Amino acid sequence: MTTTPRIPGPSRAFPIRTLAQFRRDPIAYLRRLSRDYGTIARFRIPGSDLIVVNDPDHIRDILVTNQRSFHKGRGLERAKRLLGEGLLTSEVDFHLRQRRMIQPSFHRQRIVEYGREMSTIAAKVAGRWSEGSVIDIGEEAAAITLMIVGKTLFNTDVEGDRSDVGDALNDAMKLFGMLSLPGARFLEKLPLPAVKRFKAARAKLDATIFRIIDEHKDEDDQGDLLSMLLAARDDEEDGAHMTVSQVRDEAMTLFIAGHETTATSVGWTLYLLSQYPEIEARLAAEVKDVLGDRLASVDDLPSLKYTRQVIAESLRLYPPGWLIGRRALVDYPVGGYVIPKGSIAVLAPVVTQVDPRFWPEPMRFDPDRWAVEASTSPQPSPPEREQLEDRPKFAYFPFGGGPRICIGENFAWMELILVMSTLIQRWRFALAPDQKVETAPIITLRSKNPIMMEVAERY
């Protein structure tokens, strides 16, 4: 009789201590597990067994080949408190139905139309800065992406809501960590100050979304995402409409995901450029050569090859979606082990994307890693869709993979290239003195403290 070997990992006798170690620095903890125990490692926290999977082929099988054997992990199940049953949190047939109804909004031609607004909005926000001023780059990037999401996806001006929405989103994101703890469903029922702040933040975000929905109800189709959601019918289910509640959940999901993840990526990219002046100079030279003094447009995307390489490398080191959790619905065999039913498979881009097996000098910011793909691809398709050199596909997966890959992936690539080229065209960014830059991995990979940068006119 053959016995399945036990998945290696630290002692499971003290799950509370393990939880404390994990929460102190989740990224360092996961990287250490993979270094010490190999491509499959197990650790336990109260209420959960977690299996860290760090082999690209196994990651592909979980996300793509055998994705029906898994559901979302506990983190995104808890995210329903904020997002509802949106694309990010829903499962199985309901998820497929919603994605089918939303997909036309992200058709390539429609995304091109969205692109016309992106550079204009980025230039408008950056035009408020002055020579030598010190800015919170995360806050400024968030202002840009919030306005882009409002205009392109909802055809509305949310600039007047920026402060309230930004504060509410910050509160919701910071408090989400507490609400993801084991036993949080009981904490949420208590009149704790943190719980009250979370509920107030959710109410503020709801008020903004429902206001935007109300503005669209009595108007003709404006060609934006929200108009399409309100008018969408599922032809495979007797032409059913989304309910207002469903529209709210999808709008909230796309509003937060489209705003938060891109702003985070812009902030980390500018931070990296401030640490590598030779790369920043090369990027600025490309932008000047391609654009001159005019704003970037969608037609410029194929020519902004190095810009794209810079962003791809930034997403490798600082992926906004730093961790993906999948709960096993069955006992799942992988790599000679078995992931037990009910446990959580942890797939971490922050681990795999800096694995030295696939990335020489993994912690070095090197956009030339992507030069081969950029030079051979005539269109700005996402680089993770190409197998570079001998790297397996899922050595790089900042947008996930399989049927649940980020629906806004192409939108995000276009936005990042246009926004970054617009900012770099006019400004140089230097990290302000005496700062300690650290990550704060919650839902997305934020910075623990504001990243303050001094801006200077480029020409």
Greatest mean pLDDT among 82-96, 220-234, 372-386, 441-455 lies in 441-455
- Contacts for 193-198 with beta carbons within 8 Å, 24 or more apart? 197/171, 198/81, 198/171, 198/172
Q: pLDDT tens digit string along 407-439?
A: 888 889 999 999 999 999 999 999 999 899 999
pLDDT at 369 over 60: yes
pLDDT at 240: 63
Longest Cα separation, the chain: 74
Nearest partner of 7 among 45, 44, 40, 54, judged by Cα: 40
Q: Which CATH fold would you assign to the domain 15-135+259-457?
A: Cytochrome p450 (1.10.630)
DSSP string, 36-103: HH-SEEEEEETTEEEEEE--HHHHHIIIIITGGGEEE-HHHHHTHHHH-S-TTT--HHHHHHHHHHHG
Higher pLDDT, residue 95 or 377? 95
In the chain, the percentage of residues whose pLDDT exceeds 70 is: 82
Buried b (16+ CB within 10 A) or exposed e, 347-366: bbbbbbbbbeebbeeeeebb
Q: Which of 10, 63, 21 minimizes the C-alpha distance to 401?
A: 63
Q: Are 74 and 325 in contact (CB under 8 A)?
A: yes
Extract the runs of DSSP E, i.e. beta strands, from 295-391: 324-328, 332-334, 337-339, 344-347
pLDDT at residue 94, as a whole number: 72
Q: Tokens 């109410």 identify what position? A: 203
In this structure, of 185-199, 275-289, 328-342, 443-457, the range with the lowest mean pLDDT score is 185-199
Q: Give the pLDDT band of residue 232 (cuts 50, 70, 90).
A: low
Q: Give the separation between CA 118 and CA 297, rounded to whole angstroms.
A: 9
Q: Which of 46-50, 147-151, 355-359 has the highest mean pLDDT?
A: 355-359
Q: What pLDDT is recorded for position 378?
A: 37
Residue tagged 């959960």 (tokens) = 48
**Structure confidence at residue 299 (pLDDT):** 93
pLDDT band at 2; cut points 50, 70, 90:
low
pLDDT over 90, % of the chain: 51
Is pLDDT at 375 greater than 50 in this prediction? no
40-76 pLDDT, tens per residue?
A: 999 999 888 999 999 999 999 999 999 999 987 666 6
pLDDT of residue 37 exceeding 90:
yes
Take residue 233 and report the two structure tokens written for it.
Answer: 């019918």
User: Which residues are within 8 A (CB) of 450 and not within 5 positions of it... i.e. 6 or more apart?
Assistant: 136, 138, 139
pLDDT at 165: 72
**Residue 219 pLDDT grade (very low, low, confident, very high; cuts 50, 70, 90):** low
Residues 11/37, Cβ–Cβ less than 8 Å: no
The average confidence (pLDDT) of the chain is 84
Taking 70 as the threshold, does the pLDDT of residue 371 lie above it? yes
For residue range 282-292, what is the model confidence (pLDDT) as tens digits? Answer: 999 999 999 99
Strand pairing partners for 424?
none
How far is it, in rounded angstroms, from Cα 387 to Cα 369? 12
**Whole-number Å distance between alpha carbons of 262 and 142:** 8
Residue 132 to residue 406: CA distance in whole angstroms: 38
Q: CA-to-CA distance for 262 and 154, rounded, in angstroms?
A: 17
Tell whether the model's pLDDT for residue 319 goes beyond 60: yes
User: Which residues neighbour 362 within 8 Å (Cβ) at sequence distance 6 or greater?
Assistant: 354, 355, 356
pLDDT at 172 over 90: no
pLDDT band for position 36 (cuts 50, 70, 90) = very high
The bridge status of strand 48-53 relative to strand 344-347 is parallel
Q: Are 317 and 363 in contact (CB under 8 A)?
A: yes
**Which residues, other chains included, contact 191 with Cβ-Cβ below 8 Å and sequence gap of 6+?**
none
453 pLDDT above the threshold of 60: yes
Query: For residue 262, what are the CA distances in angstroms to 14, 128, 189, 326, 357?
Result: 38, 20, 33, 24, 28
Among 34-43, 59-68, 181-190, the least confident range: 181-190
Is the pLDDT reported for residue 365 higher than 80?
yes
Q: Looking at per-residue confidence, does 443 or 53 come out higher?
A: 53
pLDDT surpasses 60 at 25: yes
Secondary-structure breakdown of the chain: helix, strand, coil percentages, each rounded to the nearest 5 = 55, 10, 30
Summarised one tens digit per residue, pLDDT across range 249-266 is: 888 887 777 888 999 999
| Dihedral sign of CA atoms 305, 307, 308, 313 in order | positive
Q: Which two tokens stand for residue 196?
A: 């009250």
What H or E segment, with its residue span, contains residue 447?
A: strand 445-447
Q: Which of 157, 140, 139 is nearest to 148 (CA)?
A: 157
In this predicted structure, what is the pLDDT of residue 14?
A: 87
pLDDT of residue 220: 62
pLDDT over 50 at 379, yes or no: no
The H or E element that residue 135 is part of is strand 134-136
Domain extents for the chain?
15-135+259-457
Closest CA to 411 of 382, 454, 391, 369: 382
Which two tokens mark 50?
A: 């977690």
Residue 377 has pLDDT above 50, yes or no: no
The mean per-residue pLDDT over the stretch 137-160 comes to 85
Q: Which residues of 46-82 are buried (b: 16+ CB within 10 A; e: fewer)?
A: eebbbbbbbbbbbbbbbbeebbebbbbbbbbebbebb
User: Does 309 score more than 90 pLDDT?
Assistant: yes
